[in-house]
Structure 1
Amino acid sequence: MKIGKTGLAAALASLVLLSACGGGNSANAPSGTAQGSASADKGAGQSTGDKPAPVEFTVMTNFFSQQPMADDNPVKAAVEEATNSRMDIQWVSSNNYTDKLNVTLVSGDIPDLIYINDPFSTVFRSMTSQGAFWDLGPYIGEYPNLSSGISETAWELTKMADGKNYAVPRPRPSEADTFFIVRKDWLDRVGLQAPTTTDELYAVMKAFVERDPDGNGKPDTEGFAAYIEPTRVDLPYGSLSYIEHSFTGVNGSWKWDGEKMIHTSLLPEVRESLVYITKAYAEKLIPADFASLKPTQLRDMFRAGRLGLMTEKAGTQRDYMEELKKIDPNVKDTDFYPVTNLNGYNPKGPGYNGVMAIPKSVPEEKMKRILQVMDTWMNPEVFKLNTYGLEGIHHKLENGEPVVDTEKMLADSVADLNQILYVADPYASSTKPFFSPESNELYAQVQDERAKTSVADISIGLYSETAQKALPEIEKKIIDLKTKVILGLQPIEAWDDLAAKLRDDPDMIKMSGEMTEAYKRRAGL
């Protein structure tokens, strides 16, 4: 469907080149996928008796399976029957999705419902400001599952600069985000409790290095799985970020102080955390080669029983415990223990993974019916089709519970439907059906406690033109100097000098002002 603004595609053509440079992969999209868009005259369909005709609409989203779901898939048909819809789905390989999305957006021939993997990309941000997509905020209250089944955090953090929601977030759990995981059996052996402060965390690291927590009589254990990832935009300080954030109480790089947005490098607590980490390195409580270690290497060290403290989600338990039990048959599931808070802080996730948007070329009545399809699909009796498929084909019932035929589910690519609509189990980051009841109960309790104090990254989605240009280089200098201070190559006074320079830096001052205005607009201040 054409978006009706002939100048918009040309104006955005150059933007797509910049966006594409951000790094999509280059696998080809699968052949045989549905192409094009349904015409607007199909609209919301024609009524037949008391029931309106199914709403016909086009969809574009990605897929992760070996092959995309076929158009005549019986599970898709069952979803369409339950939601009174007919979906013409264009499946695009996840490896190639960003490139395909950018080309589609710039072309103006946009499907009726489209997955936007980054709602704050240059192209989508520009198109929403041009009025190319529906502002869904005024309508969402009419759809109880969409309004209450997706977290407030996700709705808040997907607002654009004008404070409006131009898409439906694809929900993910917002609580129980990655934080510290500690070997509870090691704590018991060294006579310590799970840490609740950074001082207690330090005592745990020290005991794990010096007091033989694995009981083998050898000094072969590490204190903390420390690493940095300077090339990672969202977490360049790697696992050390979680220590720093526990000092600042801030999730991310920007703090709202009630009047303005402040880059955390200017906070005195960052210096305190740097002194703390430097001391830990000097006392050999973190790996000597932390600056070059990869997260995968540290995960392997945890599996091998050399580490008892790392940053992970409780819901990853199975990735570690099976290997640990081969080394130590006495280790229990509940020994994969999630720390609740440090200094009263733990991080909250953004609560979404991409968004589903509807272009303004879709008539209002049809847009509302598409939202109704999504809302109905979120009902448990309908959404279970995504999870279990069809009885007798993809699962059978035993004692009233579905037993899934995994091979058939994979063969029919049933999970692909989650790339259009998903209902997030609020405990999905913590509990799993194959964990022991004891660990699931523990993880749920910890998550409930975390939810009382968890902190979201409020800077997500805020736009500063100056930050786009200047902040990457500034943050590179910050990470480089932090690393040198930790390694003892620079004194802590070097950090003081940099912080003082940043405080007076024109770019830092300007981006702080822009971030402040962006936050106020989104928050309606």
Structure 2
Amino acid sequence: MREAFGKKVVLGVSSLLTFSILVACNNSASDPVDSEGHSASDEPLNIQMFAGLYNELPEMDNEFWTEWQEQTNTQLDIEWVPSGDLDTKMDLVLASGDLPEVLSAPNTRPPLINAIKNGAFWELSEFLGDYSDYPNLKNNLAEDWQKYLSVDGELYGLPRSRSRMDIGVKIRKDWLDELDIPVPTTIDEYHDALKQIVEEDPAGSDTLGLIGHGTIVADGTDAFAAAFGALEPHFNDEDGLVPKHLTPMYTDMVEWFRELYADGLLAQEFSVMKLTQAEELYKSGRAASYARSIWWDKEYEDAISRTQDDPEIVNLALEGPGGVGVNLATGVSGGYFISKKVPEEKVIKILDYLEHTASEEITDLAYYGIEGVHHEIEDGQKVLNELGENQINTTSKGAGVLAYAKWGKVESASGSKEYNDNKKQQVEHFDEIGTIDPMTGLHSDKWLTEWAKHTNEWDTMVTRVIVGQISMDEYKDYIESITESPIMMEAFAELGEEYRVFNQ
């Protein structure tokens, strides 16, 4: 049996609460021989890791994490950081230089790119070579994954593998049916459907329309941006690539959200709402629409069913003036980066561990746990039981690469085969009609430097214009003051050149 050490509570700047759990494990685990010839008799590899917490704080000596560490022959010392505080806490860690051995980053934000450029993390190509010692990394990951984890042509991370199909703009179909509203297929129909739902109040307690968290609706913002054409590459007259936030199409979307807010269809607290608050609102049956990963649908329906009869959620592909509102991921949701403070011999061992986590076996464990413990087989499909639903979640997928799974963010691990087959049929066309942000994988120095001077003010201005504190003309003037500045024009030019090279 593994011996569980005590939990550590870490207090950070601005009262950020993070968690660190140290778990020791025995050395009787069965582990395959790795690329260096290490056998099962080796001592477990201790890995210090920083990772996002998206669910309840896990007990690292529970059935799932015990099995994970036994199969990978590791002792994981993970600082779990609540998702709502993750970016802020990560920025503080990067700025301090006090890095964990492995940083699990859900995205490649400017502070991370700057840390990479300043030599904080190992370049990995020299270790990986031709991948002959890393067959899972070679064969089981998304196409061209290296492009999204490279900086200045050098590879610095291994991917957090996730489905290209991920975020869905959800709406309560049972409410649409109850009020005789067709499932909306356009932005205008969506607005009208929300308006009728809010007015008819099917929740019986001030039904909300669209909810979200952070800047506009966070996870779903890019889906709406796609409907307005803001995820199509946009070049200025000098062939510079203009990032989505500063395009006229994105401004059109902001104006649409302003109208949504004015009509009482966008939650008043959208800009200050935390992810957990938004999720609880939706699970309690208070809101018509919310944007999160498609695989949450079953869990949300189950939660809503405790107070409302027969809830049904569908995910929308809304036509807008510039396209279809489906945002695709790349198959790479950030990555695992190894601190340069880690000695070379341990880098190899960590890479062996990450290679093992990219296997089909470990990926299956991450999604379904142990048969008879976390799941049962029903109609030929693994279905999570109560313990599985408690221990197998987003957080349980945060300590390893995993193999690419097309339906990984669509299938519910607690859903029946019939449920998941229907869900896949509903959204399978997303993979063909969706759009990827053209800025993905670009790291222009000038852009990173200049945008860092504007990002907080821009975020505030977006909120102010949506809630009516400033006019649209004032907002447009503000955007123009950024896009027309000579230094930003240089940044766009650098981005344009990088985009053309990246997409050769």
TM-score normalised according to structure 1 size: 0.68
Aligned to 2:80: 94
Aligned to 1:30: 22
Structure 2: give runs of 5+ residues left out of the alignment: 1-11, 27-33, 52-56, 83-88
Aligned to 2:141: 150
Aligned to 1:444: 424
Contact 1:206–1:223 under 8 Å retained in 2: yes
Pair 1:464–1:421, CA change in 2 (3 A): closer
| SS at 1:169 equivalent | strand
Quote the offset at 1:204 in angstroms. Answer: 1.6
| SS at 1:309 equivalent | strand
Pair 1:512–1:355, CA change in 2 (3 A): same
Contact 2:45–2:74 under 8 Å retained in 1: yes
In the alignment of these two chains, the number of paired residues is 460
Pair 1:352–1:445, CA change in 2 (3 A): same
* 1:478 and 2:465 are equivalent in the alignment: no
* 1:126 and 2:110 are equivalent in the alignment: no
Contact 2:165–2:406 under 8 Å retained in 1: yes
1:113-192 equivalent positions in 2, closer than 5 A: 114=102, 116-117=104-105, 120-127=112-119, 132-135=123-126, 139-140=130-131, 145-152=136-143, 154-162=145-153, 164-177=154-167, 179-192=168-181
Pair 1:23–1:511, CA change in 2 (3 A): farther
Quote the offset at 1:336 in angstroms. Answer: 0.9
Q: Quick one: which amino acid aligns to residue 224 of structure 1?
A: L
Contact 2:103–2:336 under 8 Å retained in 1: yes
Structure 2 distance, partners of 1:161, 1:190, is 54
Pair 1:447–1:132, CA change in 2 (3 A): same
| SS at 1:191 equivalent | coil
Aligned to 1:5: none
- Residue of 202, 206, 211 corresponding to 1:214: 202
* 1:270 and 2:250 are equivalent in the alignment: yes
Aligned to 1:354: 335
Alignment deviations for residues 459-478 of structure 1 (CA, whole Å, 9 cap, x no partner)? 24432334444324423333
Quote the offset at 1:482 in angstroms. Answer: 3.3
Structure 2 distance, partners of 1:410, 1:289, is 29
Contact 2:357–2:363 under 8 Å retained in 1: yes
TM-score normalised according to structure 2 size: 0.71
Quote the offset at 1:198 in angstroms. Answer: 1.4
Contact 1:146–1:375 under 8 Å retained in 2: yes
1:297-308 equivalent positions in 2, closer than 5 A: 297-308=277-288
| SS at 2:208 equivalent | coil
Percent identity of paired positions between Structure 1 and Structure 2 = 16
Q: 266-275 or 91-100: which moved more? A: 91-100
Quote the offset at 1:308 in angstroms. Answer: 1.2
Quote the offset at 1:174 in angstroms. Answer: 2.5
Quote the offset at 1:28 in angstroms. Answer: 5.7
Structure 1 distance, partners of 2:306, 2:373, is 36
Structure 2 distance, partners of 1:59, 1:136, is 20
Pair 1:288–1:236, CA change in 2 (3 A): closer
Quote the offset at 1:429 in angstroms. Answer: 1.7
Aligned to 2:315: 338
Quote the offset at 1:443 in angstroms. Answer: 1.9
- Residue of 181, 184, 202 corresponding to 1:195: 184
Quote the offset at 1:167 in angstroms. Answer: 3.3
Quote the offset at 1:229 in angstroms. Answer: 2.1
Q: Which has a greater percent of strand?
A: 2
Pair 1:76–1:498, CA change in 2 (3 A): closer
Q: Quick one: which amino acid aligns to residue 227 of structure 2?
A: S
1:46-61 equivalent positions in 2, closer than 5 A: 60-61=47-48
| SS at 1:452 equivalent | helix
* 1:498 and 2:478 are equivalent in the alignment: yes
Structure 2 distance, partners of 1:304, 1:26, is 27
Q: Quick one: which amino acid aligns to residue 210 of structure 2?
A: F
Q: Quick one: which amino acid aligns to residue 471 of structure 1?
A: W
Pair 1:446–1:478, CA change in 2 (3 A): same
Structure 1: give runs of 5+ residues left out of the alignment: 1-19, 35-41, 47-51, 81-86
Contact 1:186–1:213 under 8 Å retained in 2: no
| SS at 2:443 equivalent | coil
Structure 2 distance, partners of 1:479, 1:135, is 40
Pair 1:401–1:268, CA change in 2 (3 A): closer
| SS at 1:509 equivalent | helix
Pair 1:270–1:502, CA change in 2 (3 A): same
1:233-272 equivalent positions in 2, closer than 5 A: 242-250=223-231, 255=234, 259-272=239-252
